[in-house]
Structure 1
């Protein structure tokens, strides 16, 4: 069961190199203390535009969060942090709560090459990460 208070962030566009990554989508989901709803904000950058465009904040009733929390508790992250996009989706998820601090991709994105992480997920773990991304996208989509 997911904790009663948490913050979650999904970012697409995490791979970089010499220059920092350019995100194409960012969504933030928070559940305030003693609330039965989620607060969702998101922004996207259409191809060819330099800046993220924000969408109006939304509120959504709780739903798939327990599944997402359970998935992230079981998934590894790259080591060292930000060394490689080990899930291969050019996407990061950050989850922060009292019982779980989980993040892949590092705050500045990923700058390493394939094979630069000492931790590599199994095909099953890659599928679980893909499911985690789908859950966040579904939550954001429901709130639009």
Structure 2
């Protein structure tokens, strides 16, 4: 069961190296304490444009039944929380994109601090952790969950 208060961030475009990464999409989802809704913000960078374009903040009721998903927002967040608890992160942090999706997730709550990709993206240097095919599939599912929540917000 996910905590009552948390914050998560998804970023597409984490591969850097000599220059910092250029994100193509960033979404932030927060659930303030004692709130029945998720606060969702997102920004994307269309190809060929230099800056992210922000969208108006949205909300999503935690109990909302989602179109195209057989679960509520609450159930998807619980699934995401459970997945992240089981997944490894790269070692050292920010060394390489171990999941191969050029995407990072940050989750912060009182019971879990999880992040892949490092604060400044990944350098591409080999690390000491390599996920299994099953772990890569779980990370892909985690990304899909965040995208679903962002897409359903109004």
Shared fold (TM-score greater than 0.5)? yes
What CA distance in whole angstroms lies between the structure 2 residues aligned with 1:66 and 1:124?
19
Distance 2:123 2:115 in 1: 15
**Structure 2 alignment gaps of length 5 or more:** 61-74
Q: Distance in 1 between matches of 2:41 and 2:80?
A: 18
CA contact (8 A) 1:44 1:54 kept: yes
Q: Of residues 71, 74, 78 in structure 1, which corresponds to 2:86?
A: 74
Question: Alpha-carbon deviations, 1:50-85, whole Å to 9, x = none?
Answer: 00000010010xx41000000000000000000000
Q: Note if contact 1:85-1:114 (Cα within 8 Å) is conserved in structure 2.
A: no
Structure 1 consecutive aligned stretches of length 4 or more whose deviation exceeds 6 Å: none
CA distance in 1, matches of 2:49, 2:124: 26
Alignment-derived partner of residue 39 in structure 1 = 39
Task: Name the SS for the 1:64 alignment partner.
Answer: helix
Uncovered stretches (5+) of structure 1, i.e. residues with no partner: none
Residue 100 of structure 1: how far off its partner (Å): 0.1
Q: Does structure 2 conserve the Cα–Cα contact (< 8 Å) formed by 1:17 and 1:112? A: yes
State the distance in 1 between where 2:36 and 2:135 align: 30
Deviation at 1:114, TM superposition (A): 4.8
CA distance in 1, matches of 2:93, 2:14: 13
Distance 1:35 1:127 in 2: 31
The CA distance in 1 between the partners of 2:142 and 2:111, in whole Å, is 18
Give TM-score, length-normalised by structure 2: 0.89
Give 1:92 deviation, angstroms. Answer: 0.1
User: Could you state the TM-score of these two structures normalised by the residue count of structure 1?
Assistant: 0.95
